Chain A
């Protein structure tokens, strides 16, 4: 069974631009979560989606948004990029919410110049 797929793997953007990252969960998984990993702040929860509904949201500004499609694929969007948004963005999928085992993708490395 294929694992969690994230595209693109690497991105370079400039301040003020916006970016969209994509996550395809493991087949049959309906819950998708997003995390931001930086050297300074570590791993921080962004949001979680299940059945196209956002269930939880972390403490991030409104510039960070996401959505989930009917096929469980998810996208996250960051508008008006700031230098501090440079990070590894990780997506995780699971069968369902409530701390079922989550499987992480390889991440998208975003660099903001």
Chain B
């Protein structure tokens, strides 16, 4: 069975600073990988996804992520954080034989200092 680890429960960055959120997965074959963001009281919004092809994926709101098979990682990055990016971020993995079932990491709560 697949699993996802987000090692950082909380991260605080200053506005304008760069951001990297870590995500490690465990799955025997090539996974489908996702990053979602959740603001308080809201559902999940898809930031970006990786199915195949180019390992550097561009998403919405200026986010990008890089799939590194050798490290089983799919880290999320943003060059300059805005105060509105404060939220909880979830990495998720899916497979090609489990329909739409996603396995989520525990989430990383991002706080942005002015």
Q: Are A55 and B44 in contact (CB under 8 A)?
A: no
Q: Are B99 and A48 in contact (CB under 8 A)?
A: yes
Per a CB cutoff under 8 Å, which of A31, A45, A50, A55 touches B102?
A45
Q: Which residues from 17 to 64 on chain B have a C-beta closer than 8 Å to any C-beta of chain A?
A: 32, 36, 41-46, 49, 51
Contacts of A35 in B (CB 8 A): 102, 104
Which applies to chain A's interface (DSSP): helix, strand, loop or mixed?
strand
Q: Are B43 and A50 in contact (CB under 8 A)?
A: no
A74 CB to nearest chain B CB (Å) = 13
Q: Are B43 and A105 in contact (CB under 8 A)?
A: yes
B interface, size bucket: 20 to 34
Q: Which residues from 27 to 68 on chain A have a C-beta closer than 8 Å to any C-beta of chain B?
A: 31, 33, 35, 42-45, 48, 50, 55-56, 58
Q: Which residues from 82 to 110 on chain A have a C-beta closer than 8 Å to any C-beta of chain B?
A: 90, 92, 94, 97-107
Q: Which residue of A lies closest to B32 (CB)?
A: A99
Per a CB cutoff under 8 Å, which of A4, A43, A45, A103 touches B46?
A103
Q: Are A99 and B107 in contact (CB under 8 A)?
A: no
Contacts of B70 in A (CB 8 A): none
